[in-house]
């Protein structure tokens, strides 16, 4: 994408306007049982404008990025808001909070980019290792790919930003047959950066693969969890999804306005005093987060949002419109996925702050429960009832790890579950392999330490 300032189009603005040029680039190589079943690259780019006037919004987008198309997109979005205003003028006089931020960042690799053949050969070498060492596997499905999101923004408040944020992903799903039925396991690697910065030698993954196959075999011999309310330890690798699904979504201000139960709990104790939950904008403990956001797609400087502090619900995540409603400051959470998408309130890097316990002590403290280590999909609710899939876990019996369990799901009312937290480990694990869905997809980061709590577990 050509990186150039958009401020030359400001004369076409007549109301509050955000103008964004964006390009998303995806590439993917997929190998299924040794055969290339995916070898794809996509590029989508275009321009969009969003205009606010008297409580209404107009939006328009076009894939062509020329002087004429950019001006026409601004004109079309202005006409759209005027159409809305002719239908409803009841919110006449609403104004958005003004924000102004300027920031340019390019997180792309400084190395030479490899071609698709390089990555096909890479993934085939990893696959050959698995095939040779574990011929007993039923299937091997490997995916290697990346997503680049490149954005230029200019707003009528004077904000101007450019960002190039790449994400690399290497994932594999392996299966084995047990009693005539397949049992599978999946693992992702990667994170912020291009493949060239995140994925190096095939042999770097061999020990992880050995451990993954061992877990798969344990799971194939696993037992159904005993359904019901149980003491569990959520490993650091999956505490992040609790942060994201259980609390994060309920504290997005648009969902609060939509009726989320969190709206009733501001400044109240909603969790154990051990719990502090933060949506980090871009930096944790001096390190760049998996999905860093410096200026959001409304031109607001992104800041950390401390959602829960020592068990007390302190703040929601905002865009400009929700900040106007709540008479507070926008937090820089407005993000759009594609050029043709309008910014929505989205999490960035949502994580529990680590505690002081050790994982061993946490396991030793449970007589009859589960240690849950891998997760799949998840979903939140306005009531704060959450669920997420468990794709690897173990029984805990008398303070010791026992048999592996089959795939299951856990659920609970988040604000009840968090009150049951009595131990938090000192670890911190970040992940960013997943996409969050809320009208649009968006990459998110999530993290946390291991957490001991009570949840409802599915099973038999």
Question: Between residue 317 and residue 346, which ones bind another protein under the rule CB under 8 A?
Answer: 340, 342
Sort strands 385-397 and 423-424 into parallel, antiparallel or unpaired: unpaired
Please state the closest distance from residue 184 (CB atom) to another protein, in A: 5
Instruction: Indicate which single residue of 67, 87, 207, 285 sits in contact with another protein (rule: CB under 8 A).
Output: 87
| Residue closer to another protein (CB basis): 59 or 352 | 59
**Rule CB under 8 A: is residue 39 a binding residue for another protein?**
yes
Question: Which residues, numbered 227-246, are part of the site for another protein (CB under 8 A)?
Answer: 227-228
Bridge partners, residue 44, by sequence: 24
- Verify binding: residue 381, another protein, rule CB under 8 A: yes
Interaction residues for another protein, span 41-60 (CB under 8 A): 41-46, 48, 55-60
The answer to the question of residue 115 lying near another protein (CB under 8 A) is yes
Where would I find the beta strands (DSSP E) of 107-261?
A: 139-155, 160-178, 181-192, 228-234
**Residue 286: left if φ>0, alpha if ψ -120 to 50, beta else—which one?**
left
Cα–Cα distances (Å) from 170 to 123, 176, 451, in that order, read 9, 20, 27
What CA–CA distance (Å, rounded) separates 286 from 435? 25
Query: How far is 117 from 394, CA to CA, in rounded Å?
Result: 40
Adjacent-strand bridge partners of 187: 172
Count of residues binding another protein (CB under 8 A)?
Answer: 84
First to last CA, the chain: 53
**Minimal distance in Å, beta carbon 357 to another protein?**
27
Does residue number 251 form part of the binding site for another protein (CB under 8 A)?
no
Rule CB under 8 A: which of 203-222 touch another protein? none
Residues numbered 264-323 forming contacts with another protein, rule: CB under 8 A: 264
**Residues in 350-379 that interact with another protein by CB under 8 A:** 376-377, 379
Contacts of 119 (CB under 8 A, 6+ apart): 29, 144, 195
DSSP 29-62: EEEETTEEEEEEEEEEEEEEEEEEETTEEEEEEE
CA distance 384 to 375: 19
Q: Which is nearer to another protein, 174 or 305 (CB)?
A: 174
Question: In the sheet where 305-309 sits, what is the strand order?
Answer: 312-313, 305-309, 277-280, 349-352, 445-448, 429-431
* Among residues 218, 383, 420, 440, the one that binds another protein under rule CB under 8 A: 383
Indicate the residue among 34 and 102 with the shorter CB distance to another protein.
34
Q: Which stretch binds another protein (CB under 8 A): 83-91, 281-289, 297-305, 310-318?
A: 83-91
Q: Which of 4, 113, 133, 182: binder of another protein (CB under 8 A)?
A: 182
Record the tokens describing residue 388, joined without a space.
């997420």
Q: Which of 258, 361, 397, 435 binds another protein (CB under 8 A)?
A: 258
Nearest distance from C-beta of residue 255 to another protein, angstroms: 7
| Pairing assessment for the beta strands 228-234 and 368-379 based on DSSP bridges | parallel
Determine the interface stretch with another protein among 138-146, 361-369, 394-402, 425-433 (rule: CB under 8 A): 138-146
Rounded-to-integer distance, Cα 386 and Cα 371, Å: 18
- The reply on whether position 406 binds another protein by CB under 8 A is yes
In the complex, the smallest distance separating the C-beta of residue 65 from another protein, rounded to whole angstroms, is 9
Min. distance of Cβ 23 from another protein in angstroms?
A: 10
Residue 38 beta carbon to another protein: minimum distance, rounded to whole angstroms: 8
Closest approach of Cβ 224 to another protein, in Å? 8
**In the complex, what is the shortest distance from the CB of residue 181 to another protein, in angstroms, rounded to a whole number?**
4
Tokens of 9: 């189009």
Beta carbon nearer to another protein, 76 or 107: 76
Run of H or E residues at 428: none
Selected from 2, 181, 207, 285, the binder of another protein by CB under 8 A is 181
Binding another protein (rule: CB under 8 A), the pick from 187, 357, 411, 429 is 411
**In the block, residue with structure tokens 């051990």:** 274
437 binds another protein, rule: CB under 8 A: no
In three-state secondary structure terms, 195 is helix
> Residue 358 CB: number of other CB atoms within 10 A?
13
- Which residue's CB is nearer to another protein, number 244 or number 301? 244
Shortest reach from residue 208's CB to another protein, in Å: 21
| Nearest to 452, CA basis, from 392, 367, 336 | 367
């Amino acid at each position: 994408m050509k990186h150039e300032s958009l401020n030359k189009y400001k004369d076409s603005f007549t109301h509050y306007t955000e103008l964004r040029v964006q390009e998303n680039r995806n590439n993917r190589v997929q190998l299924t049982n040794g055969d290339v079943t995916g070898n794809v690259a996509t590029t989508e780019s275009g321009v969009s404008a969003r205009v606010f006037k008297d409580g209404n919004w107009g939006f328009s987008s076009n894939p062509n990025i020329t002087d004429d198309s950019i001006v026409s997109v601004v004109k079309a979005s202005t006409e759209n808001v005027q159409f809305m205003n002719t239908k409803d003028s009841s919110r006449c006089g609403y104004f958005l909070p003004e924000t102004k931020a300027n920031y340019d960042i390019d997180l792309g690799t400084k190395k030479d980019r490899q071609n698709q053949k390089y990555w096909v050969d890479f993934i085939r070498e990893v696959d050959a290792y698995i095939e040779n060492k574990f011929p007993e596997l039923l299937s091997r499905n490997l995916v290697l790919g990346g997503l680049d999101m490149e954005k230029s923004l200019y707003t009528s408040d004077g904000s101007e930003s450019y960002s190039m944020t790449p994400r690399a992903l290497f994932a594999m799903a392996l299966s084995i047959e047990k009693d005539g039925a397949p049992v599978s396991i999946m693992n992702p690697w990667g994170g912020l950066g291009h493949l060239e910065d995140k994925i190096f030698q095939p042999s770097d993954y061999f020990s992880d693969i050995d451990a993954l196959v061992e877990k798969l075999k344990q799971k194939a011999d696993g037992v159904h969890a005993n359904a019901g309310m149980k003491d569990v330890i959520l490993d650091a690798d999956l505490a992040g999804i609790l942060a994201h699904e259980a609390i994060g979504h309920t504290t997005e201000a648009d969902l609060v306005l939509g009726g989320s139960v969190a709206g009733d709990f501001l400044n109240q104790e909603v969790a154990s005093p051990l719990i502090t939950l933060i949506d980090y904008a871009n930096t944790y403990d001096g390190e760049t987060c998996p999905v860093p956001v410096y200026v959001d797609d409304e031109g607001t400087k992104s800041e950390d949002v401390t959602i829960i502090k020592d068990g007390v619900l302190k703040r929601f995540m905002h865009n400009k419109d929700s900040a106007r409603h709540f008479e507070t400051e926008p937090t820089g959470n407005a993000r759009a996925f594609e050029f043709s998408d309008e910014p929505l309130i989205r999490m960035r890097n949502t994580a529990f702050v680590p505690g002081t316990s050790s994982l061993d002590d946490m396991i030793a403290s449970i007589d009859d429960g589960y240690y849950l280590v891998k997760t799949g999909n998840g979903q939140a609710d306005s009531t704060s009832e959450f669920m997420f899939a468990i794709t690897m876990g173990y029984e805990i019996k008398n303070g010791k790890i026992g048999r592996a369990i089959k795939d299951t799901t856990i659920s609970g009312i988040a604000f009840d579950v968090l009150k049951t937290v009595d131990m938090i480990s000192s670890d911190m694990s970040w992940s960013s392999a997943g996409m969050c869905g809320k009208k649009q997809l968006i990459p998110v980061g999530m993290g946390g330490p291991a957490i001991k709590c009570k949840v409802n577990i599915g099973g038999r």
